[in-house]
Amino acid sequence: MNDRGGKILGHILSNAKKLSKYDVGETINGLARKTGRKPSEILKLNSNENFFVPLDFLRSLLKEVIDETDPRIYPRDETRELREALSECLKVSPQEIVIGTGSDQLIDLVSRMFLKRGEEALSIIPTFSIYERCVGIQGASYRAISLRDDFSLDTERLLSSATQRTKLLFLCSPNNPTANQFDRGEIKHLAESFSGLVAVDEAYADFAGDSIVDLARKYEDIVVFRTFSKVFGLASLRLGYTVANERLATVMDERFQLPYSVSLIALKAALRLIEKIDVIRTIVEELKTERSRFIRMLNQIDGVHAFDSNTNFVLFQVQKNSEKVYQALLKKGVIIRNIGRVLKFENCLRVTVAPSPLMEGFLDALKEVLGEKDA
């Protein structure tokens, strides 16, 4: 490598050290090897996937999609058809929707559109780490303002923290990991008072029963991110979309989004699922029922406090060291997420809500780890 090449690589590596790394956590196959179990014996509850959508239902749907798909051609009409189908569900115009490879890719796209080196994005803490990573890739600064101890937004502090360099405000509502949905009036107030773009991640909104998609149509400085990974159970197909006013959405789609950014299989699968939206809505109600039962069961365990949830996961606090609890659960073949400190609450963990048999397995393992049940 010549000197010039070495300097370029050194510059990239130097910048890379400033970027956060996204940790996907323990994997099914990895933990199976470590514990001597079969992959089917691992209970994976760390990534907020939707296990209420029956696997046979999805496999049958995907088989139909594959059988009618010519993988040799680029998707064209399917993107338009998906926008039209989504517009009917959301009561928005198809021109107000942008399709992307998961909401993460669209978060990155918005960061590229609105941020450059020397500028700044605001967000909250605690929240989803991908916002900080996308901002850092742009060479921009990222500042996080703490939520209040009741997990609500400190809107006035957010607004007073903004400067002329602040171009973006990221909010996750319902928020990960606190699982609460923010008041739409406060988001509206932020949109009316903040001089930059308010970008709201609604990955979990279908489990909460409310959405600010209507505000994204009304205000030019709001964009909403949605995903097929959670409510529709298509995490592995990587499909998401944004809703924004037509002028912003058109610019995003025509000038910044890459052509053919989403696979034909993902687009067709999403269309089939929207055709079966009544099935998905029934699944969501089943999940909400199990979520309520699961929170009650957690709160009956000595030394455990589970917080309310508007998502498909539950944040809970233990009186023991959360890292030790997490590691002990791994030894039992159970993967959850160790969050640690959340504002004033020490030793917090996050667990995906799954159908009752999986939750019973988790509860039994947790009780054994906490000493409530004989191992």
Find the domain containing 41 and state its range.
Answer: 21-50+278-370
* Identity of the residue numbered 141: S
Residue 283 counted as domain residue: yes
Which pair of structure tokens corresponds to residue 54? 């029956």
* Identity of the residue numbered 145: I
Query: What is the chain's mean pLDDT, rounded?
Result: 94
Residue 4 counted as domain residue: no
Q: What is the pLDDT along the chain (375 residues), one digit of tens a residue?
A: 555 556 777 767 777 777 767 777 889 999 999 999 999 999 999 999 999 999 999 999 999 999 999 999 999 899 999 999 999 999 999 999 999 999 999 999 999 999 999 999 999 999 999 999 999 999 999 999 999 999 999 999 999 999 999 999 999 999 999 999 999 999 999 999 999 999 999 999 999 989 999 999 889 999 999 999 999 999 999 999 999 999 999 999 999 999 999 999 999 999 999 999 999 999 999 999 999 999 999 999 999 999 999 999 999 999 999 999 999 999 999 999 999 999 999 999 999 999 999 999 999 999 999 986 654
Assign 160 to helix, strand or coil.
Answer: helix
- Report the distance separating Cα 174 and Cα 207, nearest Å: 9
- Cα-based distances in Å from 317 to 45, 327, 337, 370: 16, 15, 12, 12
Tell me the CATH number at 33.
3.90.1150.10
Task: Using the 3D structure, point to which of 253, 275, 297 is the last residue of a domain.
Answer: 275
Residue whose entry in the numeric block shows the structure tokens 């798909």: 69
Task: Using the 3D structure, point to which of 254, 275, 296 is the last residue of a domain.
Answer: 275
Residue 14 counted as domain residue: no
Q: What is the pLDDT of residues 328-338, one digit of tens each?
A: 999 999 999 99
Residue 271 counted as domain residue: yes
Co-location of 34 and 111 in the same domain:
no
Co-location of 202 and 251 in the same domain:
yes
Co-location of 238 and 267 in the same domain:
yes
Co-location of 121 and 188 in the same domain:
yes
Contacts (Cβ under 8 Å, ≥6 apart) of 330:
26, 31, 34, 35
- Cα-based distances in Å from 257 to 99, 106, 200: 9, 8, 19
- Report the distance separating Cα 276 and Cα 285, nearest Å: 15
pTM score: 0.93
Co-location of 267 and 282 in the same domain:
no
Co-location of 188 and 332 in the same domain:
no
Task: Using the 3D structure, point to which of 245, 275, 305 is the last residue of a domain.
Answer: 275
Co-location of 217 and 327 in the same domain:
no
Co-location of 341 and 261 in the same domain:
no
Co-location of 317 and 264 in the same domain:
no
Co-location of 200 and 78 in the same domain:
yes
Residue 100 counted as domain residue: yes
Co-location of 251 and 358 in the same domain:
no
Beta bridge partners of 71: none
Number of domains in the chain: 2
Within 10 angstroms of residue 212's Cβ, the number of other Cβ atoms is 24
Tell me the CATH number at 103.
3.40.640.10
Co-location of 144 and 224 in the same domain:
yes
